[in-house]
Structure 1
Amino acid sequence: MEIAISALLAGAGLALLCVGGGRLVGGGVSVARRLGMSPLVIGMTIVAYGTSTPELAASIAAGPEHGAIVIGNVVGSNIANIGMVIGIASIMAPLAIGARALRREVPLMFGFAVLLVALSADGELSRIDGVLLLGALVAFAVHTCTSARRAGSAPADQGRAQVSVPRSVANIAVGIVALYVGATLTIDNAVVIASSLGLSEKVIGITVVAIGTSLPELITSVIAIRRGQPDIGVGSIIGSNICNILLITGVASAAFTIGVDGDIFVDYAIMIAFGAFLLVAARTGKIGRGPGAGAVAAYAVYLATLAFR
């Protein structure tokens, strides 16, 4: 009975994470459109950071007592974003990765993943590591804004009904509250389920928490593709993966030292492998239905192997 109740509460938490992420992204995008930002820049910044807020909220809620969930959430979310989200999106419709900015940002995403592995080599992510990651985030944000300024801003979307600024700010506020409550429900009950089933917190972080907090990316990408704006969808995934590593791990490790278990390096390797897949796709400029289906299948196999670890 306890597991059933915890599962229901965790499900409610994940639902709140999705609602909160949607409100936050919707409010942010409305403001961005009023500022005349291009769809690509919106995807790389507002949407990417917005869809990463569930991971951030979940990691903060986990706290120093559950550091394995923090790392598992980040690594699992980055794997899910490519294997599940990009895979499903490209099955729906082949994804073109033709923008120069995307081709620049994918190598950066790959490089930051390698940086995370290197910082974890000593068995922990210290406060110094956290400050380094946050410094890299600031540099990335400056790089993105500078690139957008050089490319020029897009005109505001005149064909779409404009949402008032107060309403957009209200959506952002509601989103933040929903994310906080949802993250607390998800983490607390995920730990209860893990203890009851004898599962490690790392596995729970990589599966239940990671997949749940990746739902905003999936929903955002699907909606963007259906509306004919794949740049927002793909850009949000790349930006979100970068944000997961630099912001979420950075904030968490700057607040408290995170112990890194040796077996997480297997998951690091999987994360690097999926990153390499996206790196190749960025070079070719397209992810077709075949590679997308392959990514989903590889992700399913990865999840299945967790049962034997």
Structure 2
Amino acid sequence: MLEVVILIVALIVSLIIVIKSADVFVDNIVEIGLALGISEIILGVTASAIGTSLPEFGSAMIAILTGTPDMGVGVAIGANIWNIGGILGISAIFAGLITTQGEELRRDGVMAFLTALVLVVSLFLIGNISFVLGIILIFMYVVYLWILIRAQKNNKNKEIECCDISEETSQEGKSQDSKKSLNTKTIIFAVLGLVGLAIGCRAIVYCTVELSTMANISEGLAGILLAFGTTTPEFFTVLSSAKKGLNSLAIGTVFGSNIFNILIGLGIPALFVNIPVEPITTYFDAPVMVLITLLLLLLIKRGMKLSRVEGVILVLAYVIYMFTRLFFIM
């Protein structure tokens, strides 16, 4: 009993370390990027998704590379299902209304669905996540990133056209003044954040493996349950954004995180090892991820919004999934 308590406490502490390390790493890597002259557009479209998804990515990566691939895959897929059914559903209930635009739905929503579909079809065909599939997943993310950058550049050009010359000059002056210089402290903190992520994720995986062994549950299911902890950044980001009326940020965080979790969270580890996948994940968890993504798109498309009713539907869908997973097909 004492060992279980120690492992649970260690797991909670590890989660806190990982979430804090992710914040430190992203904040400082953005500072480094700006100092090196990397476009703010590129930093903007990557930092948010990466920042909230680093706990899932790190946990999945460590789990896969340390011999527990089922847990790694479970974290990625479980996080995606929870992001939609749990986080977005609960946020819609509390906020009352989350709206979106057609462009966001066509671009980010469709990409999230396509990402899930590609993974499921590949698993049905080959039964694992191979090196070739890893290349395909990463290539898809690069293409998506390019689409995002083009969209933001186009929006920025439109804004510039609406401004007069004096305003443009003023903005350029402010931009030059706001450039940051690269300093040793920023680099050190970025490295410390990365080290904290690595250590924290390794501790998370170890504690989860030990607890799942004691509870006699599969690694895949353990990964799905672990997703509750690793998605904490997404939960607070989406809930806070929805309550403040920042609808695009709320829905965009979920879509962006789901895309990143699959394309990068599983694509990168596949470059190093062939990732076997449990049959239950292939035939149940992954298809559920596709279906709940499709459900979200259909609910939003009806009126380009999520009301409390749609939120309840998403939460119920997640409850049914978890009830089935826990009590019928563990």
1:16-55 pair list within 5 angstroms: 16-27=17-28, 42=44, 44-55=45-56
**Aligned residue identity for 1:96:** T
Partner of 2:319: 300
- Counterpart CA distance in 1 for 2:306 and 2:34 is 28
Correspondence 1:130 to 2:134:
yes
Partner of 1:249: 266
Distance 1:72 1:36, change over 3 A: closer
- Counterpart CA distance in 2 for 1:99 and 1:274 is 19
**Aligned residue identity for 2:223:** G
* Counterpart pick for 1:113 among 116, 121, 142: 116
**Aligned residue identity for 1:127:** F
Partner of 1:78: 80
SS at match of 1:255: coil
User: Which stretch shifts more, 211-220 or 275-284?
Assistant: 275-284
**Aligned residue identity for 2:238:** S
* Counterpart pick for 1:67 among 62, 66, 69: 69
Correspondence 1:91 to 2:93:
yes
User: Which stretch shifts more, 176-185 or 252-261?
Assistant: 176-185
Q: Would you say the 8 A contact 1:106–1:282 is kept in 2?
A: no
Q: Would you say the 8 A contact 1:75–1:206 is kept in 2?
A: yes
Distance 1:25 1:217, change over 3 A: farther
Q: Would you say the 8 A contact 1:45–1:236 is kept in 2?
A: no
Correspondence 1:147 to 2:164:
no
* Counterpart pick for 1:291 among 310, 313, 323: 310
**Aligned residue identity for 1:204:** A
Q: Would you say the 8 A contact 1:24–1:172 is kept in 2?
A: yes
Q: Would you say the 8 A contact 1:97–1:281 is kept in 2?
A: no
| TM-score normalised by length of structure 2 | 0.82
The superposition leaves residues 61-93 of structure 1 with CA deviations (integer Å, 9 ceiling, x where unpaired) of: 112511101111111000011111111211121
Q: Which has the larger radius of gyration?
A: 2
Q: Would you say the 8 A contact 1:97–1:103 is kept in 2?
A: no
Deviation at 1:267, TM superposition (A): 0.7
Structure 1, gaps ≥5 residues long: none
Partner of 1:223: 240
SS at match of 1:287: strand
| TM-score normalised by length of structure 1 | 0.87
Partner of 1:188: 206
Deviation at 1:13, TM superposition (A): 1.2
Distance 1:98 1:25, change over 3 A: farther
**Aligned residue identity for 1:239:** G
SS at match of 2:51: helix
Deviation at 1:59, TM superposition (A): 1.4
Deviation at 1:37, TM superposition (A): 5.1
1:255-270 pair list within 5 angstroms: 255-264=272-281, 265-270=283-288
- Counterpart CA distance in 2 for 1:227 and 1:184 is 35
Partner of 1:13: 14
Deviation at 1:102, TM superposition (A): 3.9
Deviation at 1:33, TM superposition (A): 10
**Aligned residue identity for 1:306:** R
Q: Would you say the 8 A contact 1:64–1:256 is kept in 2?
A: no
Structure 2, gaps ≥5 residues long: 160-170
* Counterpart pick for 1:178 among 193, 196, 219: 196
- Counterpart CA distance in 1 for 2:116 and 2:105 is 16
- The number of residues matched between the two structures is 301
SS at match of 1:13: helix
Q: Give the share of equivalent positions with the same residue, in percent.
A: 25
**Aligned residue identity for 1:288:** S
**Aligned residue identity for 2:107:** R
Q: What RMSD in Å do the two structures reach over aligned CA positions?
A: 2.8
- Counterpart CA distance in 2 for 1:184 and 1:210 is 15
Deviation at 1:304, TM superposition (A): 2.3
